[in-house]
A and B are shown apart, each in its own frame.
Chain A
């Protein structure tokens, strides 16, 4: 009931926010957002990307976005609405839009689609994502150095591979500093609920964690860590405002250059279906300044960032030992291959918890 009501609400809201067509010769580019653009996290960063796009190519294109679009069947209607409004290139910016995007893509072969963080593609549907686990690895190093209690707190959203690989990268990095490091994981089972995220952060701190990391979208956890005098990492976006003495760093999604590149290709008629998975060596994400840490920790972080960027350090270099104590098959030569990381559904050794659904 609640979900369908929210969906209904969102549907009606977005019906109002589709802007009307004006100049006919401009390329129309559409965006589907999961949250409100003011979420200060995931959707906010995507919209910054869109704004960068408008700034760069504003005279040639016209953008439209729909915010607060729920994942699932309702998304299909929203995407189709953008198609009908004449958008020729449509970015759908959340994992849960994967199947709806694919469905609409099959129906409209002349429209190009770009789906963020998914793995299903088609002739007219690309995917794009970032190797955030590289950033998580750096965070793991910092966390292990900064933690006095040796217990890290991790707030997960949903146990999907992207989140699981982030947890594993964090703990693998932390173990190189402190082999006995512990991580407590709480799944919020939501991407966005500031109250619940705050409650999870409180629970983790009350249970002894002194560095909080999150894979949910609001700055609530940062704010709680700040209140309690602990450390935390931001998520997606710069969150230092919510913890000037708390934020160690944050993984910043920087979608602008990618959006500009893809729209330029569309304008030039050279757009084709691709799978883009950008790491620190690309322009897909960046690390916020390393703050609130001593210089030696900062140096460790910067060195790791340089090594990962140069391709000399891989967070999932073999051997990777699974939770069961067995070595994970090393399909990528010296490290796990892309498929293993993108489909990661196991915890590494050193995590006491059980992965939900395993």
Chain B
């Protein structure tokens, strides 16, 4: 029983940064912008988030630093890709390269420093419940926030007028523009939301997951978040499934190795990718009809005034 609880806790911790970063990117892409710079924004968020927490001693301020850093990074992207209508793919890749270098520079001063990681919730009685106690009532704030965030995004996209307009920009920017909506401004906000989320996801790593900063510590999680958005066919519900599935298989394969199941570890390491892709593809095939990607995704829009 304790082992199951421990596994679920580890899965939630491993999935949370993916979920946060992917949620942000989902909103960005739903507005029609493809920002491949998630990894770069994440690692800068990690460096700034750690720096903030280290300087002030507050995890909350660290998280804010991460969000602001990610949003500022995405603003660079917005200036290039939206303001100057530069190719989005190239700009996004450049953003990642910039971010990896920049984070090393920012983080150089506090490599090797330690902080106290984010506190876990504790409610006497509830948290002590067997099996579900710590899973439901003993997480750190990031985990709860990530779930609130994805629910909020779902509600925003499908239940509000603003969400409808954002989706319209992603599906047909010409029509949205003709109706008088400020397409580029809306997209800039969406890009910055994505950047803030990526920054927060990055900050989660040194603030809660492994409480120290090392250059390159995101280790490709930004790319996985990007892939999750595509395989979830841009739907928040499936994104949650994908992120937790990926986290679950990652942790389970480690445990399976510890138990000595005897399956080659190389295969086990590939399993999270395989399982997530297969399940999400099956999910999107099961519900036939309806194109998945935002129709204007990645295309340049220059309003004619």
Contact = CB atoms under 8 A, between A and B. Distances in A.
B107 A354 contact: no
A195 B221 contact: yes
Contacts of B250: 196, 199
B101 A186 contact: no
A199 B14 contact: yes
Contacts of A204: 258
Interface in A3-37: 5-6, 8-9, 12-13, 16, 35-36
Interface string B1-15: 011001100100110
A43 to B, nearest CB: 10
Interface stretch (A48-56, A216-224, A294-302): A216-224
A195 B14 contact: yes
Given A13-B100, A68-B216, A195-B219, A203 B254 contact: yes
Given A206-B6, A352-B260, A2 B219 contact: no
11 contacts: A5-B93, A12-B97, A36-B104, A36-B216, A194-B209, A199-B250, A218-B217, A219-B212, A223-B210, A353-B257, A354-B260
A207 to B, nearest CB: 5
Contacts of A354: 260, 262
Given A38-B107, A40-B111, A187-B266, 10 more contacts: A38-B214, A159-B265, A186-B257, A192-B216, A194-B205, A194-B217, A195-B17, A199-B254, A203-B258, A218-B210
A337 interface: no
Contacts of A192: 216, 219
Interface string A91-128: 00000000000000000000000000000000000000
B254 A186 contact: yes
Say whether chain B's binding surface is mostly helix, strand, loop, or mixed: helix
B96 A5 contact: yes
B251 A199 contact: yes
Nearest to A217: B214
A241 B111 CA distance: 12
B258 A218 contact: no
B214 A9 contact: no
Nearest to B112: A40
Interface string A325-355: 0000000000000000000000000001110
A269 interface: no
A191 to B, nearest CB: 10
Nearest to B17: A195
A307 B3 CA distance: 41
A5 B227 CA distance: 14
- For the residues of A in contact with B, the DSSP-based class is mixed
B210 A194 contact: yes
A282 interface: no
A34 to B, nearest CB: 11
A290 interface: no
Contact of A6 (B112, B220, B264): B220
Interface of A: 1-2, 5-6, 8-9, 12-13, 16, 35-36, 38-40, 68, 153, 156, 159, 184-190, 192-196, 198-200, 202-204, 206-207, 209, 218-220, 223-224, 241-242, 352-354, 356-357
A308 B52 CA distance: 47
A139 to B, nearest CB: 19
Nearest to A36: B215
B101 A16 contact: yes
Contacts of B221: 195
A256 B266 CA distance: 35
A16 B10 CA distance: 39
B266 A189 contact: yes
B256 to A, nearest CB: 9
B100 A9 contact: yes
A184 B257 CA distance: 8
Interface of B: 2-3, 6-7, 10, 13-14, 17, 93, 96-97, 100-101, 104, 107-108, 111-112, 114, 205, 209-212, 214-217, 219-221, 223, 250-251, 254-255, 257-260, 262, 264-266, 268-269
A236 to B, nearest CB: 13
B255 A203 contact: yes
B264 A2 contact: no
B139 to A, nearest CB: 15
Nearest to A209: B258
Contacts of A199: 10, 13-14, 250-251, 254
Contacts of A353: 257, 260, 262
B3 A207 contact: yes
Contacts of A241: 112, 114
A287 B258 CA distance: 28
Contacts of A186: 254, 257-258, 265
Nearest to A182: B260
B219 A196 contact: yes
Specify which of B3, B101, B112, B251 lies most central, judged by the most chain A CB atoms within 10 Å of its CB: B112
Contacts of A194: 205, 209-210, 212, 214, 217, 219
B262 to A, nearest CB: 5
Contacts of B269: 187-189
B219 A207 contact: no
B254 A13 contact: no
Nearest 3 CB-CB pairings of A with B: A187-B265, A36-B215, A193-B219
Contacts of B111: 38, 40
**Considering residues B17, B211, B219, B265, which has the most beta carbons from chain A within 10 angstroms of its beta carbon?**
B265
B298 to A, nearest CB: 15
Contact of B265 (A209, A352, A356): A356
Most buried by B among A9, A39, A357: A9
